[in-house]
Amino acid sequence: MSNENTISRRSLFMKLGILFNGLVATALAVPIVRFLLSSVTRGRASAYLSWVPLGSVSDFPEGETRLATFRNPYVMPTDGKTVDTACWVRRIEGEQFQVFAVNCAHLGCPVRWFPQSGLFMCPCHGGAYYRDGSRASGPPERGLFEYPHKVENGLVTIQAGELPTPGGSAALLGKKPPCAG
Q: Measured from the CB of residue 155, what is the shortest distance to other proteins in angstroms? A: 19
Q: Of 57, 110, 148, 151, which one interacts with other proteins (CB under 8 A)?
A: 110
Mapped to the 3 state alphabet, what secondary structure does the chain carry?
CCCCCCCCHHHHHHHHHHHHHHHHHHHHHHHHHHHHCHHHHHHCCCCCCEEEEEEEHHHCCCCCEEEEEEECCCCCCCCHHHHEEEEEEEEEECCEEEEEECECCCCCCECEEECCCCEEECCCCCCEEECCCCEEECCCCCCCCECCEEEECCEEEEEECCCCCCCCCHHHHCCCCCCCC
CB of 13 to other proteins, least distance (A): 31
Q: How far is the CB of 149 from other proteins (least distance, A)?
A: 18
Contact characters 25-64, other proteins, x per CB under 8 A? -----------xx-xx--x----x----------------
Taking CB under 8 A as the criterion, which residues in 117-176 touch other proteins?
117-119, 121-126, 128, 130, 136-141, 161-163, 165-169
Residues lying near other proteins in the complex (CB under 8 A): 36-37, 39-40, 43, 48, 67, 69, 72, 74-86, 102-103, 106-112, 114, 116-119, 121-126, 128, 130, 136-141, 161-163, 165-169, 181
